[in-house]
Amino acid sequence: MSPETRACVNCKGEFVIEPEDFVFYERMKVPAPHVCPDCRFKMRAVWRNEMSLYTGVQCGLCDKSIISMYNPKSGFTVYCNSCYRGDGWDSREYSADYNFSRPFFDQLKDLIKKV
């Protein structure tokens, strides 16, 4: 089996799939990708921010000042490592009933910001 060159369905650039990759895809029982590695990385990283870190962010439980990948003005609740992993909070306090009169994604956005 020889390397196969494909066009990315996202950016239209060409990328190569090596024979070893096809063996891996068969073993994992997944199809070969139609998106180039760079575009796949961008899709995975869309929710992440490791490039900019912010100081002055307050832990949502203990109010300790922490360094976070979330801007303090973003509205996201952020927890320090010890509070996040600790037993000092009850996750059931953040539950919410589904409101059929509001769009789902509006409710999901509110939940993500709260939790």
Same-domain status, 79 and 34: no
Q: What is the pLDDT of residue 13?
A: 97
pTM above 0.75, yes or no: no
Same-domain status, 39 and 82: no
Q: What average pLDDT does the segment 100-108 reach?
A: 95
Give the Cα separation of 69 and 106 in Å (integer).
23
| Structure confidence by residue, pLDDT tens digits, 9-33 | 999 999 999 999 999 999 999 999 9
Same-domain status, 78 and 27: no
What's 59's DSSP letter?
B
Residue spans of alpha helices (H) in 46-115: 81-85, 104-114
Find the domain containing 71 and state its range: 54-114
| Structure confidence by residue, pLDDT tens digits, 30-89 | 999 999 999 999 998 887 777 889 998 999 889 999 999 888 898 888 999 999 899 887
Give the Cα separation of 86 and 60 in Å (integer).
13
Contact (CB, 8 A) for 75 and 110: no
- If one counts the domains in the chain, the total is 2
